[in-house]
Amino acid sequence: MDNAATTALDSTVLESMMPYLTEKFGNPSSIYSYGRESRLAVETARKSVAKILNAHPAEIFFTSGGTEASNTAIFSAVRNLGCEHIISSPIEHHATLHTVEYLYNNGEASLSFVKLLPNGHIDLEHLEKLLAEMDGKTLVTLMHANNEIGNMMDLEVVGELCKLYGAIFHSDTVQTVGHFPFDLRNTPVHFITGAGHKFHGPKGVGILYINENVRIKPFIHGGSQERNMRAGTENVYGIVGFAKALEIATLQYEQESAQIHTLKVYMMEQLKKQIKGVHFNGDPIGRSLYTVLNVSFPKTEKSEMLLFNLDINGICVSGGSACTSGADQGSHVIRAVNNNPNQVAVRFSYSKYNTKPEIDQVIVKLKEVM
Ligand SMILES: Cc1ncc(COP(=O)(O)O)c(C=O)c1O
């Protein structure tokens, strides 16, 4: 139950990748037939991804994953698009947070964090105030959905606000691409990101969407791949797998999202009924991912060993304790939204492969361990 960390590869996705791991091994840049076959696979994948996200194929760049995509967007906004200020939030993934902190520490941009509301959503009034105060070009980088607490931000609303103030808008959409429909042609955003392994695709492949009105400079030098922007021989089987996984996720969206949402709600109910003192972090029944549930348990000697004991029982979940002592700094997200030293936070995150009996099994083990 740690599917926000990564998901199992779908067997149909693996099947689609296999030819490019075996007989179809041509380099897409080679001009003979084997190369052209691989080139066709990459470009077909790009078209498919673009169509699903309602973008233009020229706006889709394949990367090594979400981290590279966000690094590229943020660095480009500052170094190529002239952004002197960055507005972000304290609960971004480190792929964003460490990048904006690097640019700030390096003297390349000023950095402001937007305030959070008690339920972990960003304070839109404060965002507007920050935007109004900035003179000079600003980059707003705020994630679409938080990977630890599941809170979702309204891309449209934030995008319109950025437009109003002439800001560049990047959103880390790693937890939502492959989980929600996108209509990028009608969404006011300059950069979004995706990672194949979050929706039953392969690891080590992702996308960066760059709106066609934005012109950035090449981010890796040394070849003409990805329209001269990202040099290096393409991860052909990864790219094919990414497109296949997105295609499957899109076809199955209605049914799967409902099924996973039911599991989340069921687990919330069972936890409330069966375990004393549970607290849910974020806004789990409001604007939230159907895949993520972050729960705080009362801190006891036993609950401090919760993850370890669940692991012994074959249950994989991730932590996020508000503990600030010793080497364990806990989660920066939990610290920002619920800094209660008397609680231990655990993230449960679901996929289409989880079942209700598994939830029951986890509840039984949790009761035992607590
Ligand atoms: C919200 C978010 N952003 C970025 C990443 C990084 O993606 P990747 O592992 O593909 O580099 C992750 C996954 O760990 C994530 O959950």
Digitized pLDDT (tens) for each residue of the chain, 370 residues in all: 999 999 999 999 999 999 999 999 999 999 999 999 999 999 999 999 999 999 999 999 999 999 999 999 999 999 999 999 999 999 999 999 999 999 999 999 999 999 999 999 999 999 999 999 999 999 999 999 999 999 999 999 999 999 999 999 999 999 999 999 999 999 999 999 999 999 999 999 999 999 999 999 999 999 999 999 999 999 999 999 999 999 999 999 999 999 999 999 999 999 999 999 999 999 999 999 999 999 999 998 877 788 989 999 999 999 855 444 444 568 999 999 988 889 999 999 999 999 999 999 999 999 998 8
CA dihedral 251, 65, 62, 291 (to 10 degrees): 20
112 pocket-lining for ligand 1 (C-beta < 6 Å): no
| pLDDT for position 330 | 81
162 pocket-lining for ligand 1 (C-beta < 6 Å): no
| pLDDT for position 326 | 42
| pLDDT for position 329 | 65
| pLDDT for position 157 | 98
CA of 104 to the centre of ligand 1 (A): 21
The pTM (predicted TM-score) of the whole model is 0.96
Q: How far apart are CA 56 and CA 38, in angstroms?
A: 21
| pLDDT for position 328 | 54
Query: Which of 62, 93, 153, 200 maximizes ligand 1 atoms within 8 Å of its Cβ, making it the mutation to test the pocket?
Result: 93
Short-list 208, 120, 103, 214, CA closest to 167:
214
| pLDDT for position 180 | 98
Which positions are catalytic?
A: 323
Quote the tokens at residue 213: 């009105």
Query: Which of 147, 239, 349 maximizes ligand 1 atoms within 8 Å of its Cβ, making it the mutation to test the pocket?
Result: 147
Query: Burial letters for 329-352: b for 16+ Cβ neighbours within 10 Å, e otherwise?
Result: ebbbbbbbbbebeebbbbbbbbbb
170 pocket-lining for ligand 1 (C-beta < 6 Å): no
| pLDDT for position 320 | 58
CA of 5 to the centre of ligand 1 (A): 8
| pLDDT for position 370 | 85
* Residue 264, Ramachandran bin (φ over 0: left; ψ between -120 and 50: alpha; else beta): alpha
Q: What helix, strand, coil percent values describe the chain, rounded to 5?
A: 40, 15, 40
159 pocket-lining for ligand 1 (C-beta < 6 Å): no
Quote the tokens at residue 40: 């066709």
Q: How far apart are CA 261 and CA 216, in angstroms?
A: 39
